[in-house]
Chain A
Amino acid sequence: MTDQLDRFVAAAKMGRMTRRDFVGRTTAMGLSMGLASALYTKAAHAQAKKGGLIKVGMAGGESTNSLDPALAASEVPFVVNMTWGEMLVEVGPTGEIQMRIAEEVSSNAEATEWKFKIRSGVEFHDGKTVTADDVVATLKRHTDEKAQSGALGIVQGISEMSAEGDMVTLKLTAGNADLPFLMADYHLVIQPGGGVDNPAAGIGAGPYKVVVNEPGVRHGFEKFANYFDDSIGHADQTEIYVINDNTARVAALQSGQVHMMNRVDPKIAELLKNAPGVQVKHVAGRGHYVFIMHVDKPPFDNNDLRMALKLAINRQEMVDKILGGLGSIGNDFPINAAYPLFDDTIPQREYDAAAAAEAYKKSGHDGSPIILRTAPGAFPGAVEAAQLFQQTAAAAGIPLEIKREPDDGYWSNVWNVEPFCASYWGGRPVQDQMYSTAYLSTADWNDTKFKNAKFDELLLAARAELDQAKRKATYSEMAHIIRDEGGLILPMFNDFVDAVRDEVGGWEADPNGELMNGRGHVRCWLA
């Protein structure tokens, strides 16, 4: 057995084995998933070169950005947080929890009380040691409405937080087996004293210290010498350039001014693959493009009509034409194989004009055009996608009328207001969070106005269930309910498409977020 393990480790060192393969093979040999993953990291990083300056060109930054992690809402602040900040735990590329500031996580049988043991000797950039009190103060700050935290919904479920020695105890209002996944949220960067005095100080326990902060222009960092984990953070310095223009970003990568970039336009990904010196990296993520119907407003309160529309969309055509093939087809529920506990036996819904026509007839709709609202900013290609939908629906005898809305104000005037429109979701690390955010009856962002008592009950039951097999079965049942009764038409999941230069070593696919979940520049090195 050790021979075989050695061979796998050697293969990982040579870069011949992906993390997924390695973990799959070694867990089959009896290794625990966390250990296997850690072993892979060690092996894959054995050949890492230290030093140098890694530059990242990114879309998604504005001159209005702040270093306050609670306020991060776009891509650049997310990656900036991941550079100087450190969370309690993080979600690894294969979907397992990896320990960061916490060293051990445990819960009681009902998953209502969680204990995080804080790693000893972790230092903040200002020289102070990270304590359990800092962790509690950080979480408390995010519960304060005034902090305007993007993680408010996550920390609201915690009724009591306390610190004792190196142990943080969190008591929840209701059991939640996914709590560690929620603590990996990128807003929940642990700050000294919780960051209460100066939330935007940019002082954390992450691998790099903030040196330059020019929002919307560039962010510069240098290696934090006392970082607790020497298996990552290979470069001495790293810089993030905000390059929102697609062409300019690709030009910067091609001319070698940056080493990696996010958001390759699917239209040019194919061309960029053939360009010398650069590689396109894409990974199936959890983000998806959708058309949403309000199930409480006519004519969408009729499930036959909803089913007719779901059957009248050609998913493969959308993936090919709108995503340029860089994505996968959806199945009218917001979960795919990138989530843990995904049930891949749920039958795939296909385009079927005859069945759609039949359901449409059964619905008794009066034949008046159904208005679908869309805008270029709803998702990239949203107007074209609506037009494709219009054509395939027309083939089934369903009249769709496209109403093009301006980008400005789309999210306040159209989305969540009008009964049928185009939209997108970024996905969440676990199923529970995705469903609780947008499909629970009481959810703030229930953008299909879906209210189903049975569904809510299943969601709460699954949340506190620690038996993974039972949980998976419950999630499958919930997926069926959304797929067959919900107001969601989900034609496609989009890939994260990044690109790197050839000299970047150590890249691996990470479905949690773009640029290796915001740490591409921290986990990679320059060969």
Chain B
Amino acid sequence: MYNQPSPLEVPVLTRRFRLPNSHKIDTYLANEGYQAFEKAIGMSQDDIINEVKASGLRGRGGAGFPTGMKWSFVPRQSPKPKYIIVNGDESEPGTCKDRLLMEFDPHQLIEGILIAGLAVGAHQGYIYIRGEFRYLIEHMDRAIDEAYARGYLGDNILGRGIKFHLATHSGAGAYECGEESALLESFEGKRGNPRIRPPFPAVAGAYSCPTVLNNVETYCAVPSIILKGAAYFAGLGSPKNGGTRLFCLSGHVNKPGVYELPMGFNLMRLINEVGGGVRGGKKLKAVIPGGSSCPVLKADECDLNLDFDTVAAAKSMLGSGGVVVMDEDTCMVKAALRIMRFYAHESCGWCIPCREGTTWLRKVLQRFHDGQGVKSDIVLIGDLSRNMLGRTFCPLGDAAAMPTIAFVEKFRDEFEAHLDGKPCPYEKKLVAA
């Protein structure tokens, strides 16, 4: 079981989570399970795609690309097989929702995949699961076995002449493989380096075949859209941001956890009303709104609605829904260092700016935090980040650069407080407390 629910939640994707044996197919079938799929069988491919388009569903992996539009890029006529691939490589720091979706309602994911298969005419799907989620791979395998046993997967699904096969595929522990083209390389058994795009996966994805590749949460939203209609789903959220979203609230809050809330939910309400406020009655200092790659927001910037467009207008990103709350005792240099340590460790090494830039920044930030910083380092940190920004092969470089730039720009005073051999002021405070 995970965190206690909040009364403010709107459970759509998570509505079965708290049922006993929620992961079993019987529980699923008794609670609207596979009804959307049966409905979709009666729909045309265009109807399914249009329904998803109308729902305003946007990719839950981080980029927020409209899902229906992505599906419509898959060529209808193709001599090659088509594939449905699920990005279950959840590894953005601060994000922990896909694991719950797979753990508590695996059949919802399978049903979403099946509907995607119908929409684009694919007969084979793969769930690429982060290697560290070993238990989840076995868990999903059992759910897939159940679906086969009950006729929801196979050569002749429900006796309706529909063919669809599904299998899991284990990642090997690289953050980079959450990037869709690197995931495909890894999936094909190669080193997880990103690919040159175009072509995009919809045209040439797995084994150069047309491929639909979405996040776990994105597929999980599909059955509700088909079953209850696009209007229902769109109506849950804010304009152009259909539905609900699983927000992963972590950091210095009283009630951290994963909460399903409508798109466009206010960030301050998330912290104070859903999360029970900042831990220990401390003052809020900053929030990372969508996982470690999103620029940090200062406390006074946090009164905003959590939808893709509003957060983007605030020069950050909604990302993967990982909301990291930091209180007044948090050292922002250390936060920047912690994040850069992650990216330097996870850079795949393919392109020069990311490979060398992340490592250099990690070293500078480490030295800086250790009290060995000089004033020119502050300029250097910003400079190096900007020299990576927009110049790397894949978005990992941007993901490392953007938050760093924000940390330096928004908390320059904290960087200056570390200068000239001074020890970190926050480390001291912790000791005193």
A binds B: no
Chain A residues within CB distance 8 Å of chain B: none
